[in-house]
Amino acid sequence: MKSHAFLILLSALALTGAAAATRAAGGAPGPAQVLTKEEAEGLIFERQQLMKQMEEDAETLGDIVAGLQPPDKLGQVTRSLATAAHDMRATFEAKIPGGRAKPDAWANWPDYSKRMDDFELKAEEMAKLGEAGNLPAVTAMLGAALPCKECHDVYRLPKK
């Protein structure tokens, strides 16, 4: 059975994006670039798809940590989370409001950007531990590597 804390984490993960489109287009546009409506909508969709993937990965990781699934996918799922954390940052750098992201994410860009940097760094650390098969260390890092609720409490709109 999943822990109460992990269920809170899972509920905090739902949001946005698909990173392949950004990489194929050469990455997210910089803040000085002007996007068409379609490009902006595509970037918002990409954020939404990334968040959905992270939610699925976090659920799988929770099942592994709880002993509900064997740890054979630990490296794969932690790497997927780290990749999504990296790709997620690029989808916000264009500073395109939309989805469930509050405008505060861009109004308070230094704080938001630091949170994204920390998320990316810790998720990468967790991925390396996961790829080494170190389940106890991954378990100990969950809160630091997936700080979703803390960020979403400030920068994400509730579901309608």
Q: Which CATH number does the domain housing residue 142 bear?
A: 1.20.120.10
Residue 146's closest CA among 25, 57, 64?
A: 57
Number of domains in the chain: 1
Does the global pTM surpass 0.75?
Answer: yes
Q: Is the pLDDT of residue 33 over 90?
A: no
* Confidence (pLDDT) at 122: 97
Q: Is residue 46 part of a domain?
A: yes
Q: Is residue 42 part of a domain?
A: yes
How large is the average pLDDT for residues 94-112? 93
Q: Is residue 11 part of a domain?
A: yes
With the C-alpha atoms ordered 135, 90, 16, 154, is the resulting torsion angle positive or negative?
positive
Quickly state the pLDDT bin for 78 (edges 50, 70, 90).
Answer: very high
Q: Is residue 160 part of a domain?
A: no
Quickly state the pLDDT bin for 34 (edges 50, 70, 90).
Answer: confident
* Confidence (pLDDT) at 70: 95
Q: Is residue 60 part of a domain?
A: yes
Q: Is residue 21 part of a domain?
A: yes
Cβ atoms 121, 69 nearer than 8 A: no
Query: Residue with structure tokens 């080494």?
Result: 132
* Confidence (pLDDT) at 26: 43
Rounded distance, CA 84 to CA 120, Å? 9
Q: Is the pLDDT of residue 15 over 70?
A: no
Cβ atoms 12, 39 nearer than 8 A: no
* Confidence (pLDDT) at 6: 34
Which range, 18-22, 99-103, 135-139, is most confident?
A: 135-139
- Domain residues for the domain of 122 are 4-155
Q: Is residue 19 part of a domain?
A: yes
Q: Is residue 75 part of a domain?
A: yes
